[in-house]
Amino acid sequence: GDSVTQMEGPVTLSEEAFLTINCTYTATGYPSLFWYVQYPGEGLQLLLKATKADDKGSNKGFEATYRKETTSFHLEKGSVQVSDSAVYFCALGTNAGKSTFGDGTTLTVKP
Amino acid sequence: EAQVTQNPRYLITVTGKKLTVTCSQNMNHEYMSWYRQDPGLGLRQIYYSMNVEVTDKGDVPEGYKVSRKEKRNFPLILESPSPNQTSLYFCASTLTSGSGGELFFGEGSRLTVL
C-alpha cells in the first residue's frame, strides 16, 4: 500500500537557520503530494502542494519539489523564524480518495 | 467563513458508552474523511466518504461507524468505545476526491476512554 516516511524529529534550530525536513513516499499511480502544518492546539492546515512530477510548491518561504525519480518531497526554508515552530506532516493523496500521512516532524525554533 | 466544525472538542467517557462525534462543513464539499492522531503514528485515516451515501474504510476502521446522509455532515460513531480509542480525532473535507484537492481540517476532538 501507499506510505510516507518523514525524517524523524524533533528538530531544534536557531532563528535564521536553514531547514530541511526529508519526506519520501511509496505509491502506485500518480499521487499529489502535500505538506501540512499543525500549530499547537490547532488542526492541520495546508502549507504547500504539488500535483505532478517536477512541480514546486511554495508558501511563506517554504518550498518543496515533487521528485518522481527519487520519490521525494523534501521541505525546505532558507531562514526559519520562531513562529515556524509547529508539527509538519508530509502527505500524499490519490484519486481513489485515500490520503496517507507521515508521522509528523516537530520543529522548535529558538530565538 | 469557510470551516469544518467538530463537536465535542473534548470528551471523557467510559468503556462501552456509545458516543458520536459530529462533523459539519459549510463549503459544499463532496469528500469528507476522519483521522485519528496518535503520538509516533502520525495521522491515520479511519473512514472517508466521496459523496452522500458513499462511504469506505480507511486504514483503521475497526470499532468505528460513519454515515453520510447529508452532504455537509459526516458523524463518527463509536458504538462501544474502548481505551485504545483514546486519541485526537480530526475531520477533514475537500471539494472532490481528486488528488489535487487540499484537505480542510476541523480543530480536532480529544477523546479519552476510561
pLDDT recorded at residue A1: 81
How many angstroms separate the CA atoms of A100 and B58, rounded? 10
Cα–chain center distance at A55: 14
Does residue B106 sit at the A interface (CB-CB below 8 Å)? yes
CB contact under 8 A, A32 and B90: no
pLDDT recorded at residue B97: 63
Average pLDDT over residues B42-65: 93
* Locus of grid cell 462543513: B25
How many angstroms separate the CA atoms of B74 and B55, rounded? 10
Give the residue among A55, A2, A94, A18 at the shortest CA–CA distance from B42: A2
How many angstroms separate the CA atoms of A63 and A75, rounded? 6
Residue of B nearest to A9 (CA): B40
Contact between residue B109 and residue B22 where contact means Cβ atoms under 8 Å apart: no
How many angstroms separate the CA atoms of B10 and B30, rounded? 27
The alpha-carbon gap from B6 to the nearest alpha carbon of chain A, in Å, equals 11
Instruction: Tell me how long chain A is.
Output: 111
The proportion of chain A whose per-residue pLDDT surpasses 70, expressed as a percent, equals 97
Q: Which residues of A touch B102 (CB under 8 A)?
A: 34, 46, 49
Average pLDDT over residues A82-108: 89
